[in-house]
Structure 1
Amino acid sequence: MAVAGMPKRSGRVSLAAGLALAAILLPALPVGDAFAEPKPTIAEAKKKLARLNEEADKIVEKYNQAGEKWKRAKKKYQKLNGELTRQNEKVAGLREDLVSVAVSTYQMGGVTGWQGMVSQPDPSTLLRGLAAADQLSASRAESVRAFDRATEELRVSRDKAKVALAEADRTRDELAEEKAKADKMVRAQTKLLRELGAFRAGNPDSPGIVYTGPASGNGREALEFAFAQVGKPYQYGGTGPGGWDCSGLTQAAWRAAGVSIPRTTWEQWSWGASRRVSLDELQPGDLIFSEGLGHVSLYVGNGQIVHAPQTGDVVKVVSLSSYGRRLVGAVRP
């Protein structure tokens, strides 16, 4: 029964009242998390990591190439600058010679010293004086020519050194740009690996392990060196002794065996153009390259390789079947 003076109730709660009641009863959600995406599964994270590792191979290779280009440009500039310094010294010496000639000429009296010579009563004295004057004139002319030549060479050397310095500056900037990309990639890899609980810091002082495989000759020496690095961290741009990247390790291993190979994977593959072997004919010590030439490893024998894999991992021995990268070929140093 309705009470007089009171509005009649509806049998339903109004929409506004319902929303207010829901706001009171439901737990508050942070605005930013209201539509947060679910975290990726372990499988998805591993798949993302595989993509990052493949991309990192290319970025690190570009970084290494820029580093080698910078070293060459710097070396070229230093060589030309050294030549410029020597040329400066040569020009300075010739300038002193010219001053000495000028002083001698002045002291003789006039350009050729005619006044002194023609006053000599003995004709033989006059002839000797004329001969000396001719020699002086010829010497002075040659000094001037030598000075001119040296000055021109100095100008050329200076111009070459300027060009080399500009080239070195450009490659330094290129190196810094590639390093920034690599640093960003490493942060992404490290974050994902830590989330997966799979980050391995490694030990820069790892004693490694002993190679007992079938290799012989310098191939064995290369593998013995590589095995002694097992457990050390992967480090992009690393050339040891506390950390390695893939091509830094292979270069150092073969250097320990008395064979000089280039620094980067691209250069090692190109260097080995006449030394390539079929993947079906691998021998211990051979260099194995991945598709895209972003990674290189050393064949151990018995279906195994030793390599520096990627950020968050260490130098290790694994089976070739678990390599995880498509292969393009092999080189026998």
Structure 2
Amino acid sequence: MRFGRVPVAAGIVFGLVLSPTGAAIADPRPTLAQAKAKLEKLNDKADKVVDRYNTATERYKKAKSTYTGLNDSYKRKLATVADLRAQVITMAVDSYQLGGDITSLPGFLGADDPDDFLARLALTGQVSKERAEKLNAFDRENRGLKAERDKAEKALEVADKERDGVQKERAEILRLIAQQKKLLEKLNAYNPGNPNSAGVKYTGSASGNAATVLRFAYAQVGKPYVFGGTGPGGWDCSGLTQASWRAAGVSLPRTTWQQWAWGASRRVSLDALQPGDLIFSEGLGHVSIYAGNGQIVHAPQTGDVVKIVKLSAYGRRLVGAIRP
């Protein structure tokens, strides 16, 4: 969403220089309109890439969590198998010392696969019920060990792939940010913000959850836009909306696309907006919070800060709104 992106006062005008023959020629620097148009395109592209970055990050977190859980399960099963293996070895030693199956102990200790040992030990007919239960437990856990290991390894591969996706999108964002910052500085419109901003107090008429949402969002005013930002010192658009509604006890997904999909059954008309509603831009590259009285609060883009602006200042089409 684009609100108050570039101050008109930061105009870039045609400069004139004299040619060797004394004629005036135009400086090739862009006009204000050209610079603003270029910045709009950069911001639009950055919106989409940031959302892809956030999506990739969420997938990576989920994949990494899955891997961690499976790997922990594998380690627990590995420890269980090791303990049961020790018990089985003790059983084999006892049987050997008492004159049991003489070939079972060396066979077990020298074999990578305990299945053969278990089969031969069972054939001796000298295994008590208690020992048989231990052997069965060892056999069962050992068979499941490989499956647990394979699942963990596959999950790790998925997590690594998702991590690579995050790094790719991050590299693209950093490239876009460099271009945005350079252009904003030329326009004298770069605002680094204050990560420790105390924001402003919400004094509107909203009540209930909406009031809680807006109090939180207003308290973030002045903090910088940061891609992938989830606070407290910086925010991106969907990070701000997620945290604001979390303060009211409502759990929203992380990305703009996910929030829009989550609100499929909560869509509201743009002609019937109420404070706290989330407003989405066409293309779902940006989301803001309706503050009432024709205003919104949002985290715009690189080089800007969380701010309260008029909805009418938005130059792009809106796709719709949801009421969490």
Scaled to the shorter chain, the TM-score interval is: 0.7 to 0.9
Q: 2:293 aligns with which of 275, 286, 302?
A: 302
Residues 221 and 305 in structure 2, CA contact (< 8 A), matched pair in contact too: yes
Residue 217 (structure 1) shift = 0.8
Equivalence for 2:47: 57
Does residue 1:91 correspond to 2:81, yes or no?
yes
- Give the counterpart letter for 2:43 in structure 1: N
Where does the alignment leave 5 or more consecutive residues of structure 1 unmatched? Answer: 1-25, 29-34, 113-132
Q: Which of the two has higher C-alpha Rg?
A: 1
Question: Would you say how many aligned residue pairs link Structure 1 and Structure 2?
Answer: 282
Does residue 1:168 correspond to 2:159, yes or no?
yes
Q: TM-score by structure 1 length?
A: 0.80
Percent identity for Structure 1 against Structure 2 = 61
Once residues 27 and 159 of structure 2 are traced to their aligned partners in structure 1, the CA distance between those partners, rounded to angstroms, is 47
Q: 1:248 aligns with which of 239, 250, 256?
A: 239
Q: 1:104 aligns with which of 69, 91, 94?
A: 94
Equivalence for 2:319: 328
Residue 329 (structure 1) shift = 1.1
Equivalence for 2:229: 238
Does residue 1:44 correspond to 2:1, yes or no?
no
Residue 274 (structure 1) shift = 1.5
Matches within 5 A, 1:221-300: 221-300=212-291
Equivalence for 1:318: 309
Report Cα offsets for 1:35-63 as digits up to 9, x if no partner: 99711101110111111111111111111
- Give the counterpart letter for 2:185 in structure 1: R
Equivalence for 1:79: 69
Residue 135 (structure 1) shift = 8.7
Q: 1:215 aligns with which of 206, 215, 239?
A: 206
Equivalence for 2:12: none
Matches within 5 A, 1:187-198: 187-198=178-189
Where does the alignment leave 5 or more consecutive residues of structure 2 unmatched? Answer: 1-18, 103-123
Residue 140 (structure 1) shift = 2.9
Residue 102 (structure 1) shift = 1.5
Once residues 142 and 41 of structure 2 are traced to their aligned partners in structure 1, the CA distance between those partners, rounded to angstroms, is 58
Secondary structure of 1:262 counterpart: coil
CA-atom RMSD, angstroms?
2.1
Once residues 54 and 76 of structure 1 are traced to their aligned partners in structure 2, the CA distance between those partners, rounded to angstroms, is 34
Matches within 5 A, 1:1-12: none
Once residues 224 and 39 of structure 2 are traced to their aligned partners in structure 1, the CA distance between those partners, rounded to angstroms, is 18
Q: TM-score by structure 2 length?
A: 0.83
Equivalence for 1:144: 135
